[in-house]
Chains A and B, each alone.
Chain A
């Protein structure tokens, strides 16, 4: 079946690192994604990783992919108050072309 699971809340202090975790079920997914949703705004792609990669770094963001355990994580270094948002893990389900989303992790950054 299609399922993406992630923890619902994370609270960190400004300047600390944030790590948001996700597990997925479709082992043949080609791409895995992190989308960000800020209050009152639509979802925007934050970063993605191709399934043949273990790690991808993009400025303050580090994505780690463990295909064996079907585990994806997003690390945000030096978290800022502007990073407060909901972060959605997503995968392209290879049964078709639909993208399946997790329930989202709400990140709270305390000043």
Chain B
């Protein structure tokens, strides 16, 4: 697609439930990032994929959070046993790996997660 696409745009769930958030990056972008943005804060790094593999998952807050990118394109962020503190906007971004490289990230509009 023309831009980074994230679904759902809004998700309301109950504490303890399982949630999946999907990201479809810009075609040809090999690097994919997940960030979390809480109200009034900047994006907080969660995980970075280069191709299919997680190159850096140091930002995942705990083992309830997991992300996959099985074919090197679409990625899914999975949150188990959701807690109220997980409520935030989850941002996905992609980046071209080769060529004229400035490190620019292209962001989707985010998935707003509310845990009741």
Contacts and interface: CB of A to CB of B under 8 A. Distances in A.
Given A98-B56, A99-B33, A43 B102 contact: no
Contact of A101 (B43, B50, B103, B104): B43
A7 interface: no
Interface in A78-109: 88, 92, 96-104
A45 B42 contact: no
B103 A102 contact: no
B64 to A, nearest CB: 21
Interface of A: 4, 8, 30-31, 33, 35, 40-45, 48, 88, 92, 96-104
Interface of B: 4, 31, 33, 35, 40-45, 48, 50, 55-56, 58-59, 91, 93, 102-105, 107-110
Given A42-B4, A99-B103, A104-B41, 19 more contacts: A30-B103, A33-B103, A33-B104, A41-B109, A42-B91, A44-B107, A48-B103, A48-B104, A88-B42, A96-B55, A98-B48, A98-B56, A98-B59, A99-B33, A101-B35, A101-B43, A101-B44, A103-B41, A103-B42
